[in-house]
Amino acid sequence: MRPKLMALLLIGSVFPAALLAADPPWVARSRIGMVASDSPEASRIGADILAAGGNAFDAAVATSLALAVARPHSTGLGGGGFMLAYLAKEQRVVVLDFRETAPAGATADRFAKLQAQGGDGPSPSIYGGNAIGVPGQLAGLTEILKRFGSLPLKQLAQPALELAQTGFVADEHYLDACTAALADYEKWPQLKQRHARLYETLLGKGTPPKLGDRVKRPDLAEALRLIAKDGPDAFYQGPLGEAVARAAQAAGGTLTRGDLAAYRVREREPIRAVYRDSYEIVSMPPPSSGGVCIAETLNILDAVSLYTKRYFGPEQPHALVEAMKHAFADRARWLGDPDFADVPVKRLTDYNYAVQLARWIEAGKTLASSSYGGVAAPPDDGGTSHFCVADNNGNIVALTETINGPFGSLVVAEPYGIILNNQMDDFAANPGQPNLYGLIQGEANAVAPGKRPLSSMSPTLVFRVRDAKPVLVLGASGGPRIITSVVQVILNIVERRRPLDEAISAARFHHQWLPDEVYFDREPPRELADMLRENGHQISEQRKTSIVQAIQFLEDGTMVGASDPRKGGRPAAPPP
């Protein structure tokens, strides 16, 4: 017998099976509450709030403020987000949209004009003052607290404030984001003058912190102190807002204090789809494309299985790629802010529509890009953070928040260390040109004052149809890959019955209609890649990642929390 095998058998006889099959460190179990975020420090802060008697909404607010400190490249007060939550008492899902809006001065032709004046610098929808949408983050958090919370904002902001003072621990994901940002500062040296604050502080003038170093954020601590004292007024009516408008304008943008004062959170109706008669998927409606694309993709898969009986065969990944292509082609053509464009949500999420599309899907064949979505050629993970919270009363929160690209627009509202988003790039800012995430987008998502840019963020709940009980809450970061990773983790759980850690860590693929390529997050398994090629798909050499956080609800009452190992997060539970 080979020595390794021998050793394993020996260990197996000494240790119980449960110990051998121990959860990886990025998985936690509890029966009383759970926070799964992409930062160990933020998860712990949220779990402490649950332990102190706070509910899931209190914990979500504390976690989000902590993420603003510990994930400066992903989220913060300069961004926005979506919350999809389950109110246990009322057995109802509620959706809040605190996405950024275009400032009043951001007209449809503004980016075309700026491009024309252009020069060789980076795109104005990616870096600088024009990239910044009016932040909705704090308005969203305070709305969550006002309607569903039980503890004062002051108490929930305190742990984040302390973290900002003592410093968060720099991990690999953070250092990767610093390295990527510094590469752009080298590529366009003018950024060092234009966006000096970020360069000189978090980016260490070209020498970022080392792994494990503590990064203090005294300027943000001061912002949190003002928020703890004066609430959202400190931002939307007060000194923080003044600093945001000043920074945006000094960086060439139009954002004013008036834009901030006019900002409103919106409540929305979620998107619903039933998968294989067994699970109801409830997800984010426009201005996210997430819920529509997830529903459309799963409906198509369901219809393929019913009408072609091939679903369980080797063609399944091919059918999934085809379903993704249809959903993303429709995204490009039809989706945008529903307050500004007519978005045919009902038609796109109608099962009969999926049945029509499923008929196009054939083994061994993919179609030309122009055959998807009926649209004629139209005009990476970093800047987002998703977390899930569950409490012992059955409340569940899924919250995805974003500043869009890593470190957003690079513009910092001084002296408060607030990193401002570049969410304007999520509009079809330059018609016909791909955005930061390679997405081509249509007229429904053109820039207009006060409008919200189309998003892919997809906080999602899955209920068992049989007893209407929640079985899974999840969401992701990674631009359009959010949608396809949420779909694949759902399928891994409900279809393939894989444990949550495997469901999340498994290799994922992605197709977004254009570019007409399948992206994997790592070297794909040879057989899978060969099979997709045999079906006519191009496999990209590029690797594109997404990050999923989820909590699974087992029938025995256990909550299993998992933070995607790709980013280094850890879930946390209150002590038993």
Interface positions with ligand DON (CB under 6 A) = 381-384, 402, 404, 423, 426, 455-457, 477-479, 482
Q: Is 462 helix (H, G, I), strand (E, B) or coil?
A: strand
Task: Please check whether residue 163 is in contact with residue 41, taking contact to mean a CB–CB distance below 8 angstroms.
Answer: yes
CB of 546: closest distance to ligand DON in angstroms? 8
CB of 387: closest distance to ligand DON in angstroms? 13
**How many angstroms separate the first and last alpha carbons of the chain?**
44
Going by C-alpha positions, the residue among 86, 84, 456, 490 that lies closest to residue 286 is 456
Nearer to ligand DON, 33 or 338 (CB): 338
Going by C-alpha positions, the residue among 382, 79, 72 that lies closest to residue 216 is 72
CB of 400: closest distance to ligand DON in angstroms? 8
CB of 170: closest distance to ligand DON in angstroms? 18
Nearer to ligand DON, 317 or 408 (CB): 408
CB of 526: closest distance to ligand DON in angstroms? 29
With a CB cutoff of 8 Å and minimum separation 6, the contacts of 151 are 49, 52, 53, 54, 58, 145
Task: Please check whether residue 429 is in contact with residue 435, taking contact to mean a CB–CB distance below 8 angstroms.
Answer: yes
Q: Is 544 helix (H, G, I), strand (E, B) or coil?
A: coil
Amino acid letter for position 525: P
CB of 401: closest distance to ligand DON in angstroms? 9
Neighbours of 375 (CB within 10 A): 18
Nearer to ligand DON, 423 or 492 (CB): 423
H or E segment to which residue 17 belongs:
helix 17-20
CA atoms within 13 A on the CB side of 367: 20
Q: Is 338 helix (H, G, I), strand (E, B) or coil?
A: coil
CB of 545: closest distance to ligand DON in angstroms? 9
Nearer to ligand DON, 383 or 561 (CB): 383
384 included as an active-site residue: yes
Going by C-alpha positions, the residue among 378, 370, 371 that lies closest to residue 332 is 378
Task: Please check whether residue 456 is in contact with residue 288, taking contact to mean a CB–CB distance below 8 angstroms.
Answer: yes
- Of the candidates 384, 400, 402, 545, the residue annotated as catalytic is 384
Residue 334 structure tokens: 């039809």
CB of 402: closest distance to ligand DON in angstroms? 4
Nearer to ligand DON, 373 or 382 (CB): 382
Distances (CA, A) of 462 to 219, 465, 471, 491, 511: 40, 9, 6, 11, 23
Nearer to ligand DON, 159 or 479 (CB): 479
Cα four-point dihedral sign 355, 360, 363, 369: negative
Nearer to ligand DON, 305 or 384 (CB): 384
H or E segment to which residue 216 belongs:
none
H or E segment to which residue 545 belongs:
none
CA atoms within 13 A on the CB side of 188: 17
Going by C-alpha positions, the residue among 356, 324, 339, 455 that lies closest to residue 401 is 455
DSSP β-bridge partners for residue 470 = 463
Give the DSSP per-residue string, 505-519. Answer: HS--EE--SSS--EE
Mapping DSSP onto H, E and C, the string for 546-557 reads CEEEEEEECCCC
564: Cα separation from own chain's centroid:
12
CB of 438: closest distance to ligand DON in angstroms? 12
Give the DSSP per-residue string, 122-148. Answer: --TTTSSGGGPPBP-HHHHHHHHHHHH
Nearer to ligand DON, 322 or 381 (CB): 381
CB of 453: closest distance to ligand DON in angstroms? 7
Cα four-point dihedral sign 248, 265, 416, 213: negative
- Euclidean distance between CA atoms 322 and 512, whole angstroms: 10
Nearer to ligand DON, 221 or 419 (CB): 419
- Euclidean distance between CA atoms 77 and 235, whole angstroms: 9
Residue holding tokens 């003592």?
Answer: 166
Nearer to ligand DON, 173 or 225 (CB): 173
Q: Which residues are catalytic?
A: 384
